[in-house]
Amino acid sequence: MGLIEEALSGVITEEMKQVACDEGVTEEFVRRGVAHGHIVIPVSPYRKVKICGIGEGLRTKVNASIGTSSDIVDIDMEIEKARQAELAGADTLMELSTGGDFAFIRKRIVESTRLSVGSVPLYQAFIEAARKDGAVVNMNEDDLFRITEEQARLGTNFMAIHTGINFETLKRLKNQGRHGGLVSRGGAFLSAWMLHNEKENPLYSEFDYLLEILKKHEVTLSMGNGMRAGAIHDSTDRAQIQELIINSELADKAHAEGVQTIVEGPGHVPIDEIETNVILQKRLTNHKPFYMLGPIVTDIAPGYDDRVSAIGASLASAYGADFICYVTPAEHLALPTPEEVYEGVISSRIAAHVGDMIKLKKRDKDLEMAHARRELNWERQYSAAINPERAKKIRSERMPADSDACTMCGDFCAIKIVNKYFSF
């Protein structure tokens, strides 16, 4: 029995107990969330992972995406990225390689981490078609499902699968147009294949078969957002909403079949549309876990898109998004380095925490920091910090003469002055 079936039968599994313990909620709360499709817990029969609950009433989770490109195939660097992502506190990892030996790379990455690992099987299917038959439009439908199953057997915990792209979705895209074009690699592959072959998306037309594979291998379905905007002027357009409608209907079907399901959301969104997107996503999907890709809230800050995304992610989390895909400073520019992966995770973790302060009303960590600062207790401040090592490094490089204060205030530390006269 899968987790949904066990939850519906009233069984509280070890995974549910672990999530309840980690999140400070009751085991029954987690069981009901899984039963109703509001919470997922990615698992795999092929490997043990650090258990992570994603969904309503739980801490907002952060995903880090890594993987080779057609220009740079360095497996050791990707393993180091996985290590840095885990070190920075990522909750999950997506392995999205588009260059090199896909099976070997994924196997090495999966073996190198305790985190749940996600993938996008169609990348491999389309790129192998291009290598073998000269073009992505020559992809064989059977290969798409074969590769999905092969990746599941490697211990993949969740998969982004572009089920909501069909001819109706493409009609909306064509009729409205786009300022920023189509930026989803999966969306581009599928759209080109459908238009060239004049055939429906097999992930949509053969959805029942897809569910059989996912259920057999206990893979969590993450419904891909192939029509996401790549420019804020395309945000919340007809193609994106059409895809969301299709994915919402399929998500209900997947849950009814016992397949845990996440629904992905848009990428470039101005801040005045973030709440609308969260409300739409939650309402249409019957409150399935919402995986927000970013969102990036302005298009003009390449080199700083981890910060741009953190602004959007903090609002998305506050409004109810459950899962955030990080963005690195290299977004739109280059394949990220391990250092940029680390920075991207930290930025998104800060954003998730800021959102959870609103969504979950959890501000105990900030209160701990406030008290530590009031008492000029530096070790306590470090332990409360989201990145203790960075805080220690900055202070140690500019250590003040008065070890109680900092070099910002020096002899004129406001807290130290007032602490002589007041006891808070």
Residue 41: per-residue pLDDT: 98
Residue 381: per-residue pLDDT: 96
Question: What share of the chain has pLDDT > 90, as a percent?
Answer: 93
Gap between the Cα atoms of 329 and 216, Å rounded: 38
For 83-107, write each residue's pLDDT tens digit.
999 999 999 999 999 999 999 999 9
For 202-233, write each residue's pLDDT tens digit.
999 999 999 999 999 999 999 999 999 999 99
DSSP one-letter code for 234: G
Gap between the Cα atoms of 53 and 7, Å rounded: 14
pLDDT band at 297 (very low <50, low <70, confident <90, very high): very high
Ordered DSSP codes for 246-266: HHHHHHHHHHHTT--EEEEE-
Instruction: Give me the residue spans of the domains in the chain.
Output: 60-359, 364-419
Over residues 362-366, the mean pLDDT reads 95
Q: What is the CA radius of gyration of the chain?
A: 22
Closest CA to 358 of 414, 305, 398, 320: 320
Over residues 39-54, the mean pLDDT reads 97
Tell me, what amino acid is at 177?
Answer: G
Tell me, what amino acid is at 262?
Answer: I
Gap between the Cα atoms of 49 and 115, Å rounded: 6
Gap between the Cα atoms of 266 and 230, Å rounded: 9
* Tokens of residue 326, six digits: 């990080």
Question: CB–CB of 68/78 below 8 Å?
Answer: yes
Residue 255: per-residue pLDDT: 98
Task: Tell me the sheet residues that pair with 66.
Answer: 95
Question: CB–CB of 203/210 below 8 Å?
Answer: yes
pLDDT band at 54 (very low <50, low <70, confident <90, very high): very high
Gap between the Cα atoms of 279 and 335, Å rounded: 33
For 303-355, write each residue's pLDDT tens digit.
999 999 999 999 999 999 999 999 999 999 999 999 999 999 999 999 999 99
Task: Answer whether residue 52 shows pLDDT above 90.
Answer: yes
Q: Give the SS3 label for residue 231.
A: coil
Query: Which residue would you say has higher pLDDT here, 391 or 424?
Result: 391
Residue 412: per-residue pLDDT: 87
Question: CB–CB of 70/325 below 8 Å?
Answer: no
| Strand stretches in 83-225, DSSP E | 92-95, 116-119, 158-161, 220-223
Task: Answer whether residue 356 shows pLDDT above 90.
Answer: yes
Task: Answer whether residue 119 shows pLDDT above 90.
Answer: yes
DSSP one-letter code for 296: B
Largest CA distance in the chain: 80
For 382-420, write each residue's pLDDT tens digit.
999 999 999 999 999 998 888 888 888 888 888 888 888
What does the angle CA 329 – CA 332 – CA 338 come to, to the nearest 5 degrees?
Answer: 40
Q: Which residue has the tokens 């009303």?
A: 361
Q: What are residue 5's phi and psi, to 5 degrees?
A: -65, -40
Residue 395: how many CA atoms within 13 Å on its side-chain side? 18
Over residues 123-136, the mean pLDDT reads 96
Gap between the Cα atoms of 424 and 421, Å rounded: 10
Gap between the Cα atoms of 64 and 348, Å rounded: 9
Residue 350: per-residue pLDDT: 98
For 151-160, write each residue's pLDDT tens digit.
999 999 999 9
The CATH code for residues 60-359 is: 3.20.20.540
Task: Answer whether residue 247 shows pLDDT above 90.
Answer: yes
Residue 200: how many CA atoms within 13 Å on its side-chain side? 10
Query: Which residue would you say has higher pLDDT here, 1 or 49?
Result: 49
